[in-house]
Amino acid sequence: MYFLAAEGGESTHNPIIPLWQEIVVGSVAFAVLCFVLMKFVFPRMEQTFQARVDAIEGGIKRAEAAQAEANQLLEQYRAQLAEARTDAAKIRDDARADAEGIRQDILAKAREESDRVIQAGKDALAAERATIVRELRAEVGTIAVDLASKIVGESLADEARRKGTVDRFLSGLESTGAR
């Protein structure tokens, strides 16, 4: 260095006086650097930072939405479960009530049936009795008339039929019997 400097015979430099050539070179070089970095690199970094923030915030939002949805679903399921429980209870109650009703129905029907059977029996009995009474009445009348005819010696049958004597007598008999 030294011997080169000595060879050149250059006048001494003052270190605090800038060389204008270096100012020109430095300005151009630094301008190029600023242009490239400030136009093509750092704005993209800001964009990337922003995208990253968005991604994280979006992720949080999505998670919150999912959480909310899950909570809502849970509530819904709980409500449905409670509803199902009340339904089940209601169905059980209904079934119990139905069973009771059916039992009552069956009982009532059975009672009705038995009543009906009894009534039918009674009716049949009454009818039979009435028939028998009617037959007996006719027979008693005939027998009485025949007996009276034998006693009297002539046929009173037509007379008796004509005048209803026997019937009247029997009716009177019945009514006194009923009384």
Minimum CB distance to another protein smaller for 19 or for 124: 19
Q: Cβ 60 to another protein, closest distance in Å?
A: 15
Minimum CB distance to another protein smaller for 29 or for 73: 29
Residues of this chain that interact with another protein (CB under 8 A) are 1-5, 8-10, 12-23, 25-27, 29-30, 32-34, 36-38, 40-49, 51-52, 55
Q: Which residue has the tokens 């339904």?
A: 87
Minimum CB distance to another protein smaller for 53 or for 70: 53
Q: Cβ 83 to another protein, closest distance in Å?
A: 46
Q: Cβ 63 to another protein, closest distance in Å?
A: 17
Minimum CB distance to another protein smaller for 14 or for 176: 14
